[in-house]
Amino acid sequence: MPLKVPGQWSFKPNYYQYDASVLGTNTVYRLLEDPYGFIWMVSDKGILVFNGKTYETIKIPGTEQEIVNIYRYKNTVFAGTYSGKLFEIDMLTLKVEEIPLPQYMNRQARYLSTINVMDDKLYLAKNMGPFVILDLKKKKTPTLISHSNYLFRYLLYGDTSIPDLRFHPYWIKILDYKIFVESTIYDLQNRALKVFYTASKDSQELKTVSSYLKEGSDLYVGFLQSGGLVKYNNYNVKSYQNIRQTILPDVEVGDILKDSRGNIWISTLHNGVFVFLSEVAEVQKLSSNYTLYNNDIWYIKYKNRILDIGYKKQLVDQLKDGAFYKKWIGDTTTIFNPVLLFRSYKNKFMILGSVSSYMTGATNFDRIRSIYKDFYTYNNELYGTMNGTAGKFLENLNYKPILADTSELNFYTRFPLPDSTYVKGGANGLFINDKPTIVKDRVIKVRKYNNDILACTDNGLYIKRKEKYVHITQKDGLPDNQCVQIEYPGNRYYQLLTKQGLSYIDTADCKVVNSFNAQLLGSDAIIHHFDVEKDTIWLATNKGIFILDEKALLIKTKSDITAYLYPEQLTGRYQKYMYQNFELKYSKEKLVKMHVEIISFSPKEYYIAYQVAKENKIIAAPVQLVDRSFFVNTPEPGTYTIKLHIGSDKDHIDKQLTYLLKIKPLWYQILWIKILLIFILIIAFGFIVRIVAQQIIKEKEKRLKEKYAMLQLQSQAFFTQLNPHFIFNALTPLQSHILKNEKMESLEYLDRFSSLMRDILKNSDKTETSLKKELEFITKYINIQQIRFTPPFIFELHIAHDIKQDNTFIPAMLLQPIIENAIEHGIKNKGAEGLISVHIQTTVTKGQECLQIEIADNGVGMKHNFLKEGHALYILQKRIQTLQKQAGTIASLTHQPGNNGMGTIFTLLLSKTKNLWMP
């Protein structure tokens, strides 16, 4: 209903238009709404499923299948193609299946002009072709097959005895129980046709009716042939006095739909889709027979049925009772010089602009270069602020300066207070009596209402009430923080215009009661100025002039927002839009991406925030979304509660949604499997411990056996050194000295022999000894042996200089058996020609530094096998083999003939490492 403004004013509802820039086409035939709130549009590009921002195209099998007609039955859509095929679309899942038609229907490849359901039966008819009825309760079985000429006969009489050609069969449209024939809509009731609407009652040119919508007592009718959209208020089919109002002129209307939110949709064949939003139903756009200068309006004032309209040039149109009244022309030499104020007095007028002003009779030149920055009414007197001065306009529009300001501050506004003091606002903030206040933001306007001082700034509105300052910003409900205009009509509300909308602020508690967003007038709409007369708000915008019902604005209503939240993994339409509990398997990434989809046909931007909790513990505090997706951190399986908050801002939440996200554990995360795994691990661990313990015991037993074998071999080596032959042969020289009464020689020999015995006894319990001590022992042993032989054999010892004998360790009593073998079986009978030489040097074997000891003699060589059991060399060889079993040890004993086959060379190779020979 248009707002009631005295006079013959003409207004039409405000609407939005979705054209090819959004939909990809301007041709839309039919409209439907699905259970999720999406709008379905049948276009020349296919069926579009639209959510207000983007659309999805339903793919029909076959490239030639252009949809020309659809009908919704419950949650199923029957779609007919241009080639005459019929498809069934599930609105919940978008599953498409072709419905096989009787062979009779396929004789002519014509489109299905009629697709309608009555009494659970599907009526199908081709233009000038077959006509069939399918029973939907019996799996779409045919119950009647005939020709479309018999369609009306069957609808009226239930038989097909004779054709009924009262109506042209090539243009018949049946929708539910309404039949469209040219410019008339018939109502089919009890097999009788009654006129529901006919355009013949209008004096307008007759057009073909395409669609209708009954809205309460009002009727919307759409026409083809550029007949547009017409609205009848309080339509009465029996009356010839129905008031006709053209809402959309000169368009071809395809269909009209009222969705579940109360929005009214109009599809056209050449201009896209129009929608009248229910949330802006109280906003009407001025429609005048007088062509305005343009739609970019910067100033508006309504008083005494006269509307002053100012443009971005210094032009002012005046309309009275909706018709042209006067035109006032000021300075039009400047392209951009928006009108800020207009006043007239008799034949004198002034137009004050943002760049220059125009006053008739003010000076010899009507054009005034001075720029007025602010205008305000105080005590019914008009004041103005210009460069360096503030003054007042007299009744005859003459300007009287009353204050000159020579300060360096750039003031935009000055306002008089009692006692000749002023409030000033400018780039540096708000000043009272030239003293700065807490307001430091740029002040555009200052006003004083009651005892409040109001400052419009770039950062919201400041209200000074006594000594207290109240700061109102976007977070308190303003459309934005850029304040433009502030008014107070004397009631309980301050009226504040910001860059993006109009707000009403309660003077009692300084709270924002409600706001009107400029985007509701269009996505790029800007409100430049407003005026309020009684209950009507006049808006001057870049889209024209709108009026708004003040009472409707003061009623705080929540927007009917349809929103969905779903995980990215879901692809099915039913799962995304019907489920609020989701189950997903645990992922190693520990993140689940969630998408928010809002179905909104308003250009408003929404505040969207989410909160995540697990077991009543918040793990993600409310976080505002930058785009419409976010990640939920799921470090462990369980149920996560996701709350979605949607509104105009964080302090005005219109809708809250709660979803449950259940993360199912992987098989190894299930409790009983965990217990089973722990039990198995315990058994396995015990088994491994047992095996390791047994291995350790075996290793210890092995080392003990090796140690025992080493000690046994060492003991055997000890006894070999103390064998009777050696002792007897060693005592023979002593006996000789005694018989010869050579006391000194006897004592010296006995001292050497006893020293040798002591060394043997000392080394009997040692596993290793230093090279130095081993060589000292060998030297003592050689000296004893040399005394036995006359003349004595020769002994040579050669040691490399880089060998430190004190720090080089070898197994104890390792060299003596080799030297004893060289003496007894090699050089025993050679006398002074006998030679035993020992060469000790360092070498590297297998990456390890080793000690190489060569013991050579020039005796008869090894003609017999001396490595038999019990022999000293056999015992030595066993000791070497035992040493080889120790980790990280290199030990070997080899022998070979000497030079020219004379004598034998034994080579002993040992790791050169201290404490390596400890068992």
Per the rule left: phi > 0, alpha: psi between -120 and 50, beta: everything else, 616 is left
* Stated pTM of the model: 0.66
**What's the CA gap between 830 and 861, in Å, rounded?**
13
Q: SS3 for 141?
A: strand
Contact 145, 132 (CB under 8 A): yes
Q: SS3 for 896?
A: strand
**What's the CA gap between 32 and 729, in Å, rounded?**
127
Which H or E element spans position 283?
strand 283-286
Tell me what pLDDT residue 408 has. Answer: 44
**What's the CA gap between 464 and 473, in Å, rounded?**
15
* Structure letter (DSSP) for residue 507: T
Tell me what pLDDT residue 83 has. Answer: 82
Contact 468, 454 (CB under 8 A): no
Compute the chain's Rg from CA coordinates. 56
Q: SS3 for 346?
A: coil
Contact 10, 286 (CB under 8 A): yes
Q: Which of 255, 270, 256, 296 is closest to 44 using CA atoms?
A: 270
Q: What is the dihedral of CA 63, 69, 71, 75, to 10 degrees?
A: 20
Contact 181, 202 (CB under 8 A): no
- What is the distance, to the nearest Å, from the Cα of residue 138 to the centroid of all Cα atoms in its chain? 48
Contact 262, 278 (CB under 8 A): yes
The strands making up 339-345's β-sheet, listed across from edge to edge, are 339-345, 348-353, 357-359, 367-368
Structure tokens at 175: 């929708």
**What's the CA gap between 518 and 175, in Å, rounded?**
38
Tell me what pLDDT residue 507 has. Answer: 93
**What's the CA gap between 639 and 661, in Å, rounded?**
6
Q: What is the dihedral of CA 735, 737, 742, 743, to 10 degrees?
A: -50
630: CB partners within 8 A, 6+ apart: 593, 594, 596, 610, 623
Taking CA atoms, 311 is separated from 64, 255, 342, 520, 533, in Å, by 52, 37, 11, 22, 21
Q: Please name the residue ranges forming H helices in 534-670.
A: 550-554, 573-578
Structure tokens at 728: 């007897």
**What's the CA gap between 586 and 592, in Å, rounded?**
9
pLDDT tens digits, 589-605: 889 999 999 998 877 77
Cross-strand partners of 123: 116, 133
426: CB partners within 8 A, 6+ apart: 409, 410, 411, 412, 413, 442, 443
One-character DSSP codes across 810-878? EETT-SHHHHHHHIIIIITTSGGG-EEEEEEEEEEETTEEEEEEEEEE-SS---S---STTSHHHHHHH
Tell me what pLDDT residue 786 has. Answer: 83
Q: Within 13 Å of residue 561, how many CA atoms lie on the same side as its CB?
A: 24
The strands making up 794-799's β-sheet, listed across from edge to edge, are 794-799, 835-845, 848-857, 904-911, 891-897
In single-letter form, the type of residue at position 529 comes to H
Both ends of the chain: CA-CA distance in Å? Answer: 110
Residue 643 phi, psi dihedral angles, 5° rounding = -110, 130
**What's the CA gap between 541 and 284, in Å, rounded?**
13
Structure tokens at 441: 């933001």
Q: Around Cβ 642, how many Cβ atoms within 10 Å?
A: 21
**What's the CA gap between 267 and 27, in Å, rounded?**
8
Taking CA atoms, 175 is separated from 115, 127, 480, 735, 746, in Å, by 8, 16, 47, 147, 146
Residue numbers of the chain with a pLDDT score lower than 70: 1-3, 63-65, 108-109, 165-172, 201-205, 281, 346-347, 361-372, 387-388, 404-412, 415-421, 556-560, 706-730, 764-765, 863-871, 913-919
**What's the CA gap between 888 and 847, in Å, rounded?**
11
* Structure letter (DSSP) for residue 13: E
Tell me what pLDDT residue 559 has. Answer: 64
Which H or E element spans position 773?
helix 771-788
Structure tokens at 567: 């995980």
Tell me what pLDDT residue 264 has. Answer: 93
Tell me what pLDDT residue 855 has. Answer: 93
**What's the CA gap between 296 and 544, in Å, rounded?**
6
Tell me what pLDDT residue 532 has. Answer: 92
**What's the CA gap between 188 and 179, in Å, rounded?**
7
